[in-house]
Structure 1
Amino acid sequence: MSEIRQLFGQTIIYGLSSVVARVLNFLLVPLYTAKFIPSEYAVVTEMYVYAALFIIIGSFGMETAFFRFTGSGQSSKASVFSTAYTFLLANATLILGLGLVFYKQISSIIEYENHPEYVLIFLGIIFLDLITIIPFSLLRQKNKAIKFATIKIINIAINIFFNIFFLVVCPYLEANGISKTFVEQFYNPDISVAYVFISNLIASMITVIILAPETIKNLAPPNYKLFKKMINYSWPIWIAGLAFMINESADKVLIKYLLPKGIAMREMGIYSACYKLSIFMTLFVQSYRFAAEPFFFNQFSKPNAKKTYSLMLQFFVLFALSVFLFVTFYIDVIKLIIPNSLYHEGIIIVPIVLLANIFLGIYYNLSVWYKVTNKTKYAAIISSIGAFVTVFLNIIFIPVYGYIGSAWATLIRTIVVQGGVCPMKSVSV
Structure 2
Amino acid sequence: MSTGRHIRHLAGETIIYGIPGTVNRFIAIFLVPLYTRVFSPADYGVYGTLTSLTQLLGTFVVLGLDNASARWFYDTEDTGRRKSVIASWFWCQFLVSVVLALGLNLLAVPIARLLLGSADYAVPLRLALWVIPLMAFGRVLGNWMRYRRMPWMNVAYSVAASLAVVTGIILLVVVFQKGLAGLYQGQLLGWGITALAAVALFSSWIHPRHFSWKLLREMFAFGLPLVPAGLASWVTASSDRVLMTMFRGATENGIYYAAVQISLGMALLTSAFQLAWGPFAFSILNEPGSPRVYSKVFSLYAFLGCWLALGMSLFAPLLLFIFTTPKYYGAASCVPFLVFGNLAMTATYI
TM-score category of the 2 structures, normalised to the smaller one: 0.7 to 0.9
Structure 1 residue 356: Cα displacement: 3.1
- SS of the aligned residue for 2:251 comes to helix
Q: Given the alignment of the two structures, is residue 118 of structure 1 paired with residue 121 of structure 2, yes or no?
A: no
Cα contact 2:14–2:276 (8 A) shared by 1: yes
2:166 maps to amino acid: I
Identify the residue that residue 62 of structure 2 maps to in structure 1.
59
Residue of 96, 99, 105 corresponding to 1:94:
99
The equivalent residue for 1:213 is 200
Residue 196 (structure 1) aligned to one of 166, 177, 183: 183
Which of 329, 332, 346 lines up with 1:347 in the alignment?
332
Cα RMSD of the aligned pairs, angstroms, is 3.3
Matches within 5 A, 1:274-285: 274-285=259-270
Say whether the 8 Å CA contact 1:25–1:156 is kept in structure 2. no
* 1:82 equivalent in alignment to 2:67: no
- Residues 146 and 55 of structure 1: is their aligned pair in 2 closer, same or farther, counting only changes over 3 Å? same
Structure 1 unaligned blocks of 5 or more: 171-186, 369-429
Alignment-derived partner of residue 240 in structure 2: 251
The aligned residue for residue 162 of structure 2 is: 156
Measured in 1, the distance between the counterparts of 2:342 and 2:97 equals 32
AA at the equivalent of 1:24: I
CA distance in 2, matches of 1:279, 1:96: 27
For the 8 Å contact 1:95–1:127, the answer to whether it is kept is no
Counterpart AA for 1:238: V
**Length-normalised TM-score, structure 1:** 0.69
**In 2: Cα distance, 1:159 partner to 1:304 partner:** 40
1:334 correspondence with 2:319: yes
The equivalent residue for 2:211 is 222
Is this contact kept in 1: 2:61–2:97, CA < 8 A?
Answer: yes
Q: Which residue of 2 aligns with 1:41?
A: 44
Secondary structure in 1 matching 2:235: helix
Which fold has the larger relative contact order, with Cα–Cα distance below 8 Å and residues 6 or more apart in sequence? Answer: 2
Instruction: Give 1:425's aligned residue.
Output: none
Counterpart-to-counterpart distance in 2, 1:303 and 1:251: 37
Aligned runs of 1:394-413 on 2, under 5 Å? none
Deviation at 1:334, TM superposition (A): 2.0
Partner in structure 1 of residue 250 of structure 2: 265
- Residues 318 and 98 of structure 1: CA distance in aligned 2, closer, same or farther (over 3 Å): closer
* 8 Å Cα contact 1:88-1:131 kept in structure 2: no
Cα contact 1:38–1:343 (8 A) shared by 2: no
Aligned-pair distance for 1:56?
Answer: 1.4
**How far is 1:248 from its partner?**
0.8
